[in-house]
Amino acid sequence: MSDLLASLYPWVKSLHVISVITWMAGLFYLPRLFVYHVEQVKIGTETDSLFQTMEYKLLRFIMNPSMIATWVFGLMLVMTPGIVDWTAVWPWTKAISVLAMTWFHHWLGLRRKEFIAGANTRTGRQYRLMNEVPTILLLVIVISVIARPF
Protein backbone atom coordinates (compact mmCIF):
# COMPACT_ATOMS: atom_id res chain seq x y z
CA MET A 1 0.00 0.00 0.00
CA SER A 2 2.80 2.44 0.86
CA ASP A 3 4.43 1.85 -2.56
CA LEU A 4 1.13 2.66 -4.25
CA LEU A 5 0.71 5.86 -2.20
CA ALA A 6 4.30 6.88 -2.99
CA SER A 7 3.75 6.39 -6.72
CA LEU A 8 0.45 8.30 -6.62
CA TYR A 9 1.87 11.12 -4.47
CA PRO A 10 1.95 13.87 -7.16
CA TRP A 11 -1.64 13.06 -8.19
CA VAL A 12 -2.95 12.87 -4.65
CA LYS A 13 -1.20 16.13 -3.75
CA SER A 14 -2.67 17.81 -6.85
CA LEU A 15 -6.18 16.61 -6.03
CA HIS A 16 -5.71 17.71 -2.42
CA VAL A 17 -4.75 21.25 -3.48
CA ILE A 18 -7.69 21.44 -5.91
CA SER A 19 -10.11 20.29 -3.19
CA VAL A 20 -8.71 22.79 -0.71
CA ILE A 21 -9.13 25.64 -3.21
CA THR A 22 -12.77 24.79 -3.89
CA TRP A 23 -13.51 24.26 -0.19
CA MET A 24 -11.90 27.60 0.71
CA ALA A 25 -13.90 29.39 -1.99
CA GLY A 26 -17.09 28.20 -0.30
CA LEU A 27 -15.82 29.01 3.19
CA PHE A 28 -15.13 32.56 2.04
CA TYR A 29 -18.38 32.99 0.09
CA LEU A 30 -21.05 31.48 2.36
CA PRO A 31 -20.52 33.91 5.27
CA ARG A 32 -20.58 36.76 2.74
CA LEU A 33 -23.95 35.48 1.46
CA PHE A 34 -25.14 35.46 5.07
CA VAL A 35 -24.09 39.12 5.43
CA TYR A 36 -26.21 40.11 2.42
CA HIS A 37 -29.04 37.82 3.52
CA VAL A 38 -29.20 39.48 6.96
CA GLU A 39 -28.75 43.05 5.82
CA GLN A 40 -30.82 43.23 2.63
CA VAL A 41 -33.45 40.48 2.63
CA LYS A 42 -36.80 40.34 4.41
CA ILE A 43 -37.86 36.94 5.80
CA GLY A 44 -40.48 35.13 3.72
CA THR A 45 -39.88 37.01 0.47
CA GLU A 46 -38.89 35.59 -2.90
CA THR A 47 -35.40 36.98 -2.33
CA ASP A 48 -35.23 35.13 1.00
CA SER A 49 -36.09 31.92 -0.85
CA LEU A 50 -33.47 32.69 -3.51
CA PHE A 51 -30.76 33.26 -0.89
CA GLN A 52 -31.71 30.05 0.90
CA THR A 53 -31.41 28.15 -2.39
CA MET A 54 -28.00 29.67 -3.15
CA GLU A 55 -26.75 28.94 0.36
CA TYR A 56 -28.05 25.37 0.23
CA LYS A 57 -26.51 24.60 -3.16
CA LEU A 58 -23.18 26.16 -2.23
CA LEU A 59 -22.97 24.09 0.95
CA ARG A 60 -24.41 20.85 -0.41
CA PHE A 61 -22.88 20.66 -3.89
CA ILE A 62 -19.58 22.54 -3.57
CA MET A 63 -18.47 22.85 0.04
CA ASN A 64 -19.43 19.41 1.40
CA PRO A 65 -17.86 17.39 -1.44
CA SER A 66 -14.78 19.64 -1.38
CA MET A 67 -14.35 19.21 2.37
CA ILE A 68 -14.68 15.42 2.08
CA ALA A 69 -12.21 15.30 -0.82
CA THR A 70 -9.78 17.53 1.09
CA TRP A 71 -9.91 15.14 4.04
CA VAL A 72 -9.59 11.98 1.90
CA PHE A 73 -6.64 13.24 -0.13
CA GLY A 74 -5.05 14.84 2.94
CA LEU A 75 -5.21 11.57 4.87
CA MET A 76 -3.73 9.76 1.87
CA LEU A 77 -0.83 12.23 1.95
CA VAL A 78 -0.40 11.68 5.69
CA MET A 79 -0.22 7.91 5.12
CA THR A 80 2.40 8.26 2.37
CA PRO A 81 5.76 7.21 3.85
CA GLY A 82 8.32 9.96 4.35
CA ILE A 83 5.91 12.88 3.86
CA VAL A 84 5.10 13.88 7.44
CA ASP A 85 7.59 14.06 10.30
CA TRP A 86 5.33 13.74 13.35
CA THR A 87 8.19 14.76 15.67
CA ALA A 88 8.01 18.28 14.21
CA VAL A 89 5.44 20.82 15.36
CA TRP A 90 4.13 21.88 11.92
CA PRO A 91 1.94 18.81 11.26
CA TRP A 92 0.21 19.36 14.57
CA THR A 93 -0.48 23.06 13.94
CA LYS A 94 -1.83 22.12 10.52
CA ALA A 95 -3.98 19.31 11.94
CA ILE A 96 -5.46 21.57 14.63
CA SER A 97 -6.18 24.26 12.04
CA VAL A 98 -7.84 21.77 9.68
CA LEU A 99 -10.02 20.54 12.55
CA ALA A 100 -10.94 24.17 13.30
CA MET A 101 -11.73 24.73 9.60
CA THR A 102 -13.98 21.67 9.67
CA TRP A 103 -15.71 22.99 12.81
CA PHE A 104 -16.26 26.34 11.02
CA HIS A 105 -17.75 24.52 8.02
CA HIS A 106 -20.27 22.79 10.30
CA TRP A 107 -20.95 26.05 12.16
CA LEU A 108 -21.91 27.61 8.82
CA GLY A 109 -24.22 24.67 8.12
CA LEU A 110 -26.00 25.28 11.43
CA ARG A 111 -26.38 28.97 10.62
CA ARG A 112 -27.95 28.05 7.28
CA LYS A 113 -30.53 25.95 9.13
CA GLU A 114 -31.33 28.99 11.29
CA PHE A 115 -32.04 31.01 8.14
CA ILE A 116 -34.39 28.27 6.91
CA ALA A 117 -36.25 28.33 10.24
CA GLY A 118 -36.38 32.15 10.20
CA ALA A 119 -34.44 32.07 13.46
CA ASN A 120 -31.19 33.84 12.59
CA THR A 121 -30.12 36.11 15.45
CA ARG A 122 -26.73 37.20 14.13
CA THR A 123 -25.97 40.53 12.50
CA GLY A 124 -24.14 41.29 9.29
CA ARG A 125 -21.24 42.55 11.40
CA GLN A 126 -21.00 39.22 13.22
CA TYR A 127 -20.95 37.35 9.92
CA ARG A 128 -18.30 39.74 8.59
CA LEU A 129 -16.12 38.96 11.62
CA MET A 130 -16.67 35.23 11.21
CA ASN A 131 -15.70 35.62 7.56
CA GLU A 132 -12.13 36.22 8.81
CA VAL A 133 -11.90 32.79 10.48
CA PRO A 134 -11.02 30.84 7.32
CA THR A 135 -8.45 33.49 6.36
CA ILE A 136 -6.61 33.16 9.66
CA LEU A 137 -6.75 29.36 9.52
CA LEU A 138 -5.55 29.38 5.92
CA LEU A 139 -2.53 31.48 6.91
CA VAL A 140 -1.63 29.09 9.74
CA ILE A 141 -2.02 26.03 7.50
CA VAL A 142 -0.01 27.36 4.55
CA ILE A 143 2.78 28.76 6.72
CA SER A 144 2.90 25.52 8.75
CA VAL A 145 3.26 23.36 5.63
CA ILE A 146 5.48 25.54 3.44
CA ALA A 147 7.66 27.62 5.75
CA ARG A 148 7.56 25.10 8.64
CA PRO A 149 8.65 27.65 11.25
CA PHE A 150 7.59 25.42 14.12
- What's the pLDDT tens digit per position in 40-99? 999 999 999 999 999 999 999 999 999 999 999 999 999 999 999 999 999 999 999 999
pTM of the model: 0.94
3-class secondary structure per residue, the chain: CHHHHHHHHHHHHHHHHHHHHHHHHHHHHHHHHHHHHHHHCCCCCHHHHHHHHHHHHHHHHHHHHHHHHHHHHHHHHHHCCCCCCCCCCHHHHHHHHHHHHHHHHHHHHHHHHHHHHCCCCCCHHHHHHHCCHHHHHHHHHHHHHHHCCC
Write out the residue range of the structural domain in which residue 60 sits. 2-147
Q: What is residue 123's predicted lDDT score, i.e. its pLDDT?
A: 97
Q: pLDDT over 70 for what percent of the chain?
A: 100
pLDDT in tens, 31-43: 999 999 999 999 9
Quote the number of domains for the chain.
Answer: 1
